[in-house]
Structure 1
Amino acid sequence: MKPHPTNWRKSSRSGRVSNCVEVGCFNDGAAVRDTKDRSAGYFTTTGAQWAAFIGAVKAERFD
């Protein structure tokens, strides 16, 4: 059964732009969806995987 995320939010850096992603939380994980097509669904990740991804972003590993 797929979790139902709550508290969807987008980056404050997105401003009023509609072409970005939103992140929602559930028990021990996160979900990500595209704001242009919220009805297309979302993908989920564990809390540990999400923390590792955010750490990599902050360390500029994707630049």
Structure 2
Amino acid sequence: MTNPDLTGAMWRKSTRSDGNGGACVEVADLRDGVAVRDSKDKTGPTLAFDAQGWRCFVDSLKNN
């Protein structure tokens, strides 16, 4: 997915994130997939996945 429209994206962090500003990512559900960004750099780059790509990414994390 390239250059998704992030206007109005509702970003969220995992409930497992530590509250001390640790290394966290935020995710936002998009119309056609999911976007991911560094919680400490909200204006920085994002990664965007279509629905199938996101499922593959999450499944690969679960299997490791």
- TM beyond 0.5: yes
Aligned: 1:9 with 2:19: no
TM-score (norm 1): 0.78
Structure 2 stretches lacking a partner, 5+ long: none
1:18-46 C-alpha deviation (Å, 9 max, x unpaired)? 23110011112000111111011312111
The percent identity for this pair of structures is 35
Aligned: 1:48 with 2:52: yes
| Greater relative CO, 1 or 2 (CA 8 Å, sep 6+) | 2
Matched pairs, number: 60
Instruction: State the match for 2:26 in structure 1.
Output: 22
Moved over 2 A (4+): none
Calculate the aligned-residue CA RMSD, in Å.
1.7
TM-score (norm 2): 0.77
Structure 1 stretches lacking a partner, 5+ long: none
